[in-house]
Amino acid sequence: MPVFAAELTEAEVQQAVDAQGKETVTGNVFIWFLCAIAFLKVSQKIDSFMASLGVNVGNTGGNMMAELLIAGRGLASSFRGHGGGSHSSSHSSSPGSAAVQSSFLSGGLAGAVGRQTERSAVNAATGYTEGPSIGNALYQSSLEKGGDFANNVISNIAQGNYGQVGSIKGDGAVSAFQSYMGIQNEDKTDHSYTNVEIGGGRITGVESGSNGDSREFAMYHADQYTAPTQGTYETVQSVDGATWYKQYAENTVSKIPYDAGDGKIAYNESIVQKLPPTPPRKDRI
């Protein structure tokens, strides 16, 4: 049972002395005191580290004890998942497990907790799980600042296996795209984005300019796709240093056939914008 200093009374101390002896109680209190100091020092390091990731520790929600319990439970699940048997097969079925093979946070015990937290964040970002979780809270807080934690989660999804990891789409996809591409606040006033989807080595959406013009775009991860051979493209980089080929929809003649009579076929022609064909994946060549 955890003991909090605010709940410890003089009578309880005297009772413990009578039952266990002065030396034992003194030793226990001294050990507790050292643990408290160590916890405060670790907490300060964690706060500093979280801030460097762009995570606002004041907005993660809940209290410290509840979050530690959640992290501990997630860590236990992680260990069970790697223990083999049915636990292993169920553990590997989530997008987070497929996307996060190692953690950029650190190694050892902290790395195991970090990987479990990232898995939780990936599962939330892809819509695999709903509801509050420490991973999702950290992801959302980091996303607001374009922090490393959020961008690492987005990178894992953007470059992951679509069939296993899924994608980011819906309301959170635009914020994820802007953070991952390092789009600053001043750039957001010139362009806006809708219908964004991120995953499987591709990023698609609609880009609108300040003049109201809108164009579909598609981006292909250079390590997973060959360079486009049809249409024009530009090369851009995401914040993780990955290279992407970016193409916009181009004017294309659309022909819609109709029966002109006398057994003849005619066409209604119009100019529409259409994305060039998707370039081949390198793993399928």
Show me where the domains of the chain are located: 115-274
Q: What is the pLDDT of residue 32?
A: 58
Q: Residue 59 above 70 pLDDT?
A: no
Q: Residue 8 above 60 pLDDT?
A: no
Please tell me whether residue 208 adopts helix, strand or coil conformation: strand
Q: What is the pLDDT of residue 24?
A: 56
- Mean pLDDT along residues 6-22: 57
Is residue 67 very low, low, confident or very high in pLDDT (cuts 50, 70, 90)?
A: very low
Residues above pLDDT 90, as percent of the chain: 38
What sign results for the dihedral spanned by CA atoms 145, 180, 102, 171? positive
Is residue 84 very low, low, confident or very high in pLDDT (cuts 50, 70, 90)?
A: very low
The model carries a pTM of 0.67
Is residue 37 very low, low, confident or very high in pLDDT (cuts 50, 70, 90)?
A: low
Tokens of 81: 């998942």
Please tell me whether residue 212 adopts helix, strand or coil conformation: coil
Average model confidence (pLDDT) across the chain: 76
Q: What is the pLDDT of residue 253?
A: 83
Out of 73-77, 98-102, 177-181, 185-189, the most confident range is 177-181
> Which residues in 27-149 belong to E strands, given as ranges?
none
CA distances from 143 to 7, 19, 110, 155, 247 (A): 38, 53, 22, 13, 26
Q: What is the pLDDT of residue 62?
A: 44
Q: Are the CB atoms for 266 and 209 separated by under 8 Å? A: no
Angle between the N-to-C axes of helices 148-158 and 108-125, in degrees from 0 to 180, rounded to the nearest 10: 60
What sign results for the dihedral spanned by CA atoms 165, 166, 170, 175? positive
Is residue 1 very low, low, confident or very high in pLDDT (cuts 50, 70, 90)?
A: very low
Query: In what helix (H) or strand (E) does residue 60 lie, and over which residues does it extend?
Result: none
Return the higher-pLDDT residue of 196 and 117.
Answer: 196
CA distance 87 to 259: 61
214-221 and 234-237 strand pairing: unpaired
Tokens of 37: 């100091």
Q: Residue 90 above 50 pLDDT?
A: no
Tokens of 18: 């009578």
Tokens of 116: 């479990």
Which of 158, 165, 160 has the alpha carbon at shortest distance from 181? 158
Tokens of 178: 């802007």
Is residue 184 very low, low, confident or very high in pLDDT (cuts 50, 70, 90)?
A: confident
CA angle 135, 140, 143 (to 5 degrees): 120
- Mean pLDDT along residues 209-218: 90
CA distance 144 to 133: 17
